[in-house]
Amino acid sequence: MRNHLLLALLLCSACNVAVTDANESQPATNAAQPTNAVAAQSDRNADYAFQVVQEKNAWQASPILQAQVALDRWGFSPGVIDGKDGMSYKAALRGFQEAHDLPVTGEYDRKTGAMLLEGEARPTTWLVKIPDGFARGPFFNIPKGLNEQASLPALTYRNLLEKLAERFHTTPEALMALNPPNTKIGAGLTVRVPAIDNQPVATIEGDERGWGETLAGLGVAKDQPQADHIVVDKSEGLLKVFNAENRMIAQFPVTTGSQHDPLPLGEWTIKGVSRNPDFHYNPNLFWDASSKDEKAVLKPGPNGPVGVVWIDLSKDHYGIHGTPEPQLIGRTESHGCIRLTNWDAARLAQMVKSGIKAKFQA
């Protein structure tokens, strides 16, 4: 593939994917495009442009939901936006406070609120119309077994509700809780969502796997602050991103290993980033695989075993990646790798590149 560098075929007990350094450090092109290409780009943008509907009556969001949406905008992820006072939310507040020289309380206090909201009354939720193109799919039922998943043309979302929830950094259950009972989800219908901004489909040189559309479909901007190094803290369950001045610029909740496949402590290097990767499954290398499983290649998709991103590390067989189960981040174990929500993994993928140092600490 043009401008793609095949880095490695990972044969591992952790996360077994073929890593392709797709679209890394490739700027959007500003060259003139044919009229039909411009029209096609306009159509793609329309698929992800959620129109905000003017509300007749003001809807009052909880302070926790307000803080979660604001933290997400700043890059200090609370994980799933659900309005609940959980561990990931508290950790996001502490990270934001530390990064902005505020008292580190883990509470949504007056000073933290003033900094988070930047003195603006930005909305916490919107009523939006679901674009026709966004609602088209395709959608597939995702079987549990990896060999069965290998038969699908892509590991897409199961349905529109799941796709809509990931676009707005939440879960289907939390999304429906924001809406009246029996709210219908379909093209052209109006639904309440967390106020995560629209993003255009980025034009990326050599983008043969639809990464620009993936970013737009997750509400993640292509342009992100650039990392100098990252730190994964096992005890905190967090991945922290630092700039060249050693200032923390982002923080994400993560799942880090298990007793059987522990997080490899030490200092490593990012070797490359694969966006929308295939997943190469070798059951001989998974201690919990079924004896009936066979080797298989699973197509890309947000419901794949590593989600939408694989960030390859210099530690053999280990990487940082997304997940098909965002609600379980920080609450379950992994096969040794570092797992994030798909939207956080996509954001991190835009912040890092080959050569960046990654420190894993207890």
pLDDT per residue as tens digits for the range 278-321: 988 766 666 556 667 778 899 999 999 999 999 999 998 789 99
Q: Which of 155-164, 261-270, 280-289 has the highest mean pLDDT?
A: 155-164
- Measuring CA to CA, which residue among 341, 263, 280, 350 is closest to residue 77? 341
Rounded to an integer, what distance in angstroms lies between the CA atom of residue 193 and that of residue 171? 11
Q: Is the pLDDT of residue 259 over 50?
A: yes
Report the C-alpha gap between 228 and 241 in whole angstroms: 8
**CA-CA distance, 153 to 297, in Å (whole number)?**
11
Residue 117 burial by Cβ neighbours in a 10 Å radius (0-12, 13-18, 19+): middle
Looking at domain 5-28+222-361, its CATH superfamily turns out to be: L,D-transpeptidase catalytic domain-like (2.40.440.10)
Q: Where is average pLDDT lowest: 78-82, 240-244, 314-318?
A: 314-318
Q: Six-digit token pair at 15?
A: 């996360």
Which residue in 238, 264, 260 sits closest to 360, CA to CA? Answer: 264
Interval 311-338 mean pLDDT: 83
Residue 199 pLDDT > 90: yes
Domain boundaries, the chain: 5-28+222-361
- At 26-48, the pLDDT tens digits run 333 344 455 565 666 777 899 99
Residues 323-339 as b/e (b if ≥16 CB within 10 A, e otherwise) read bbebbbbbeeebbbbbb
In the chain, alpha helices (H): 35-47, 63-74, 87-99, 110-117, 132-135, 146-149, 160-167, 172-177, 211-217, 342-349
Predicted local confidence at residue 284, as pLDDT: 67
The DSSP bridge pattern shows strands 338-339 and 319-321 to be: parallel
pLDDT value of residue 38: 60
The proportion of the chain whose per-residue pLDDT surpasses 70, expressed as a percent, equals: 83
Task: Determine the 3-state secondary structure of 337 from DSSP.
Answer: coil
- Residue 179 confidence (pLDDT): 96
User: Residue 311, SS3?
Assistant: strand
DSSP secondary structure letter of residue 103: -
What was the pLDDT predicted at 44? 85
SS (H, E, C) 274-302: EECCCEEECHHHCCCCCCCCCCEEECCCC
Checking if the pLDDT of 213 tops 80, the result is: yes
Give the residue with greater pLDDT, 271 vs 6: 271
Contact predicate 231/247, CB 8 Å: no
- The whole-number average pLDDT for the span 313-330 is 91
The residue written with tokens 């960030």 in the block is: 311
Mean pLDDT (the chain, rounded): 87
6-20, 24-38, 217-231: which range is least confident on average? 6-20
- Mean pLDDT for the stretch of residues 106-135: 93
Q: How confident is the model at residue 334 (pLDDT cuts 50, 70, 90)?
A: very low
Predicted local confidence at residue 11, as pLDDT: 31
Other residues' Cβ atoms within 10 Å of the Cβ of residue 239: 25
C-alpha dihedral sign at 154, 155, 160, 163 = negative
pLDDT of 263 reads: 85
Question: What pLDDT sits at residue 270?
Answer: 98
